[in-house]
């Protein structure tokens, strides 16, 4: 399997599939590039698909730091190595945050963020009561419960497949979530706004449940060109619930942008 060694010395596992316009797929927290497998056949025609494991995930190295800027820089290093120019970037969950930050630091054709609210106040409210358990011996149990809730109506076979690919590393998860634990809502908002400053690419936020009118207003304040679309009732994995529909929506969004 090919690895890119980033300027910080981290090895990032990646895979390139097919030929055509560059399209990057970035997975969610604790998952890996294989999580995208059901979507690949539907996106393969006309695209060169670039998949990777974020630092601390899959076959990539665990690092000393796992912040969004570092992960976005890792993705950029992979894109530079494989010669990708002006790609479409698609990210799910944590990957949605990563590709959003990436689009603020390097030219991309379009961004598709799958079920990752960029405003983190609600996530902080949900996560804070769990912090002591996440830092202790109950980490694995709490993570399993969280993802069981996120799965929603995902078919049992697919839920089992994704679960088998999930490898929660306590150090990595706590590192990624440390700003949510340590910063106030106001500080988090300022942090996200700063990281997304300069994001000018067409932007589709695709959610499996409606994040509500307040989030819609916040999103278009931060990213004025953003479109928010809801596939109601599909919970956290709309792309795995209907992979063919998802691939077609990505194509139509890019073509219309």
The pLDDT profile of the chain, 257 residues, written as one tens digit per residue, is: 689 999 989 999 999 999 999 999 999 999 999 999 999 999 998 999 999 999 999 999 999 999 999 999 999 999 999 999 899 999 999 999 999 999 999 999 999 999 999 999 999 999 999 999 999 999 999 999 999 999 999 999 999 999 999 999 999 999 999 999 999 999 999 999 999 999 999 999 999 999 999 999 999 999 999 999 999 999 999 999 999 999 999 999 999 98
User: Cα–Cα distance between 160 and 257 in angstroms, integer?
Assistant: 36
Note whether 100 and 118 are within 8 A (CB): yes
pTM of the model: 0.97
CA distances from 39 to 43, 90, 105, 112, 182 (A): 6, 12, 27, 14, 36
In this prediction, residue 257 carries a pLDDT of 86
CA distances from 91 to 3, 36, 102, 132, 179 (A): 20, 10, 11, 29, 20
Question: What total number of domains does the chain contain?
Answer: 1
Per DSSP, helices labelled H in the chain are 40-43, 68-82, 94-105, 121-127, 131-134, 139-151, 156-165, 170-182, 185-196, 213-222, 238-241, 243-256
Contacts of 112 (CB under 8 A, 6+ apart): 88, 89, 90, 91, 99, 204, 206, 250, 253
Q: Which two tokens stand for residue 122?
A: 């609600």
Query: ∠ CA(203), CA(80), CA(77), 5° rounding?
Result: 85
In this prediction, residue 1 carries a pLDDT of 62
User: Cα–Cα distance between 160 and 157 in angstroms, integer?
Assistant: 5
The domain that holds 113 is classified in CATH as 3.40.50.1820
For 185, the domain range is 3-256
User: Cα–Cα distance between 85 and 109 in angstroms, integer?
Assistant: 9
DSSP structure class, residue 184: -
Q: Helix (H, G, I), strand (E, B), or coil: what is residue 246?
A: helix
92: burial class by Cβ within 10 Å (0-12, 13-18, 19+)? buried
Note whether 74 and 101 are within 8 A (CB): no
């Amino acid at each position: 399997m090919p690895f890119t060694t980033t300027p910080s010395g981290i090895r990032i596992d990646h895979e390139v599939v097919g030929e055509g316009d560059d399209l990057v797929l970035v997975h969610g927290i604790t998952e890996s590039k294989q999580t995208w497998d059901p979507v690949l056949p539907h996106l393969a025609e006309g695209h060169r698909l670039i998949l990777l494991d974020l630092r601390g995930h899959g076959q990539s190295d665990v690092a000393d730091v796992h912040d969004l800027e570092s992960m976005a820089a890792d993705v950029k290093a992979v894109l530079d190595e494989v010669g990708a120019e002006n790609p479409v970037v698609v990210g799910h969950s944590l990957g949605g945050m990563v590709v959003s930050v990436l689009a603020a630091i390097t030219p991309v054709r379009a961004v598709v963020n799958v079920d990752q609210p960029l405003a983190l106040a609600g996530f902080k409210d949900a996560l804070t009561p769990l912090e002591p358990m996440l830092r202790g011996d109950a980490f694995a149990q709490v993570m399993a419960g969280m993802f069981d809730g996120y799965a929603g109506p995902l078919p049992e076979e697919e839920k089992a497949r994704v679960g088998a690919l999930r490898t929660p590393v306590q150090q990595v998860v706590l590192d990624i979530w440390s700003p949510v634990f340590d910063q106030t809502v106001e500080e988090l908002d300022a942090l996200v706004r700063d990281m997304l400053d300069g994001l000018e690419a067409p932007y589709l936020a695709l959610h499996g449940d409606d994040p509500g009118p307040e989030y819609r207003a916040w999103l278009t304040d931060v990213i004025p060109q953003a479109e928010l679309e809801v596939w109601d009732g599909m919970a956290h994995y709309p792309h795995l619930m209907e992979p063919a529909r998802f691939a077609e929506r990505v194509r139509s969004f890019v073509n219309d942008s």
